[in-house]
Amino acid sequence: MQPGYGNPPTAGYGAGPAMQPAMQPGYGQQGDYAAMPMSKGPPSAFAPGRRRKINGLAIAVNIFLPWFLFSALYSIQSFTFHYTHPATTLLVVISAFIIPLVTGIWALVAKRREMDLPMWYTYFTFASLLAVGLAICLGDMNFWYNMQPYYDMQNLNTYPSVNPAREKGQQLMDSGRVYFSPGTRLNLKMAMGFKHHDMYCVAPIVNGNEKLPTYDFWAVGTNCCAGATTDYRCGEFNNPHARSAFRLMNDDQRPFFRLAVQQAESAYNLKATHPIFLHWMQDPVDSVNAYRDDGNKYFLMGVFSHFLLNAFCVASAVVGFSKMGHY
């Protein structure tokens, strides 16, 4: 029989595997192109099925270092160091801006060299700059409004048993706290107010009913009178046990209280040679300590608030950087 007429082909005529057509890629069979993964952007640490490591060290550094920087500068600006070394405090504050400057340079260098952490360097630059700025502003406010009056009061003298009918203001120019002798009171009939945006109210502190040669001790307050006589409602004016005072420490208010006293001199035909302005009360110690307590309170509030703010910003940065593939 001839080959090709019903007989099985032999190996010599291309039978076997050599006669089978090769499968071409792309015709019902996955080739090399089908095996290539599709590009779907940078991987995320939060994507299902992925376990890319998050840089915990960078996260911890950016949570705590800006907070430490803020707390240190806030403390320097608020407390004793600012009071005793104002020039050094200013130098420290200016030097603190070196930190965000250096990290900003690192961020630029890391970006040009395509290093792994340029985004965290950039974040730390802005976080430390914000920390320095907030510490300077908040610390300065806390110092001027709370801690400096407290420190000034601690450095002034305390005078007991002062009789306004005998002592003159010139004798107590360094007074911080004044305790008056029995019988001392406010003469509300000689109160006066001077209007300049706020109402600056004054009332003489007297002992007895006789007219004094000079009225040098004045109780003061703001926005607690209408400018008319007997309308003085400042401090503990109606406390029968009030017989003490602490000195006005706000230098910006002193000229306006002096103008109010000058108006009283003209209106009541009296004389005030060396007026001393005081806050009338029963216990000046508690009022003085209130400055210190407020300063400590606002310091702690600032420290904890900055930590929460910075932690929230770092968490937001982690989410944002993970979507960009820089974490």
CA–CA separation, 319 and 327 (whole Å):
9
Output the pLDDT for position 229: 64
In a domain, 299, yes or no: yes
- For 153, residues 6+ apart whose C-beta sits below 8 A from its C-beta are 176, 177, 246, 247, 249, 288, 291
| Number of other residues whose CB lies within 10 A of the CB of residue 161 | 11
In this prediction, what percent of the chain has a pLDDT beyond 90?
67
Do 94 and 124 fall into the same domain? yes
In a domain, 174, yes or no: yes
Do 271 and 208 fall into the same domain? yes
pLDDT per position as a tens digit, 50-77: 445 667 888 999 999 999 999 999 999 9
| Of 197, 179, 201, residue with least CA distance to 188 | 201
In a domain, 22, yes or no: no
pLDDT per position as a tens digit, 131-146: 999 999 999 999 999 9
Do 252 and 139 fall into the same domain? no
Output the pLDDT for position 96: 95
Q: Which has more pLDDT, 316 or 108?
A: 316
Do 67 and 147 fall into the same domain? yes
Do 227 and 207 fall into the same domain? yes
CA–CA separation, 299 and 297 (whole Å):
5
**pLDDT at 297 exceeding the cut of 80:** yes
Distances (CA, A) of 110 to 43, 66, 121, 314: 21, 20, 8, 20
Distances (CA, A) of 156 to 5, 151, 153, 180, 196: 130, 9, 5, 17, 29
**pLDDT at 3 exceeding the cut of 90:** no
End-to-end CA distance of the chain: 78
Q: What's the rounded mean pLDDT across residues 272-284?
A: 94
Do 140 and 197 fall into the same domain? no
How would DSSP label each residue in 144-200? IIIIHHHHHHHHSEEEEEE-TTT--GGGGTTEEEEEEPTTEEE-GGG-EEEEESEEE
Q: What's the rounded mean pLDDT across residues 161-180?
A: 94
Alpha helices by DSSP H, 269-283? none
Most confident of 100-109, 220-229, 279-288, 295-304: 295-304
In a domain, 320, yes or no: no
**pLDDT at 16 exceeding the cut of 80:** no
**Virtual CA dihedral for 267, 269, 270, 276, nearest 10 degrees?**
20
**pLDDT at 124 exceeding the cut of 50:** yes
What range does the domain containing 303 cover? 56-155+293-314
Do 116 and 189 fall into the same domain? no
Output the pLDDT for position 325: 61
- For 37, residues 6+ apart whose C-beta sits below 8 A from its C-beta are none
pLDDT per position as a tens digit, 171-230: 999 999 999 999 999 999 999 999 999 999 999 999 988 889 999 999 999 999 986 666
CA–CA separation, 314 and 241 (whole Å):
55
Output the pLDDT for position 34: 45
Mean pLDDT score of the chain, rounded to an integer? Answer: 84
- For 179, residues 6+ apart whose C-beta sits below 8 A from its C-beta are 158, 159, 160, 161, 162, 243, 244
Do 107 and 223 fall into the same domain? no
Letter string b/e over residues 96-118, b meaning 16 or more CB atoms within 10 A of that residue's CB:
beebbeebbebbeebeeeeeebb
